[in-house]
Amino acid sequence: MNGLERFFESLGAGWAYLFLFLSSLAENLFPPMPGDTVLLLGAVLVGKGKLAFGPVYASTTAGSVLGFMLCYAAGFKWGIRLFQRRSAGTFSESNLRRVRMWFDAYGYGVLAVNRFLAGFRAVVAFAAGIVRMDARPVFLFALVSCLLWNGILIAAGIKVGEHWSVVVQNYQRVMFGLLCLAVLIGWFKSYRKKERPLP
């Protein structure tokens, strides 16, 4: 965290906003790029008074929307052929089928929540192009989704930045709590698998 913060400070404010824009853009084009992590760092720096809220919100949202629309345009122009070339990981056929089922069930509503679908954001954009959804509502719903998601993350990051000394003082307690939570979740998942009846 301190290393990334020093990196941002070395860039200067203007270049930092450009970096946030490019990071948000690349997250859509090259998943799983850690765009949200960089966004949160930018928000923490807003809370610490080192960056301004407006440019951080605008640059990250613009990058997210542009990245989404570029993926949509690629899906619209090249269709399933492009998707099949990137059929591993995020761009698996099973993920594409799942997103298509969501479109059948919820239509454009899937676009409105796409930023909240970690691991499926780029797939949603490609799939919207593949099924040739109208570009105008695609853009509007993508914009709304990005505004909501980025707003929530930035608000959370600002709070962390404003209370950074408290966060640092309680870092070990927080990490221990997260570790315990991860262990509990892992145990619960393994327990559910054991309890699941055989077909």
Q: Please indicate, yes or no, whether residues 77 and 40 belong to a single structural domain of this protein.
A: yes
Among residues 110, 17, 32, 117, the alpha carbon closest in space to that of 62 is found at 17
Q: Please indicate, yes or no, whether residues 89 and 73 belong to a single structural domain of this protein.
A: yes
Q: Please indicate, yes or no, whether residues 103 and 189 belong to a single structural domain of this protein.
A: no
* pLDDT at 6 exceeding the cut of 90: no
Q: Is the full-model pTM beyond 0.85?
A: no
Show the domain range for 76. Answer: 2-162
Asked whether the beta carbons of 120 and 99 are under 8 A apart, the reply is: yes
* pLDDT at 130 exceeding the cut of 80: yes
Number of domains in the chain: 2
What pLDDT shows up at residue 198?
40
Q: Please indicate, yes or no, whether residues 95 and 107 belong to a single structural domain of this protein.
A: yes
At residue 164, what is the residue type? W
Q: Please indicate, yes or no, whether residues 40 and 16 belong to a single structural domain of this protein.
A: yes
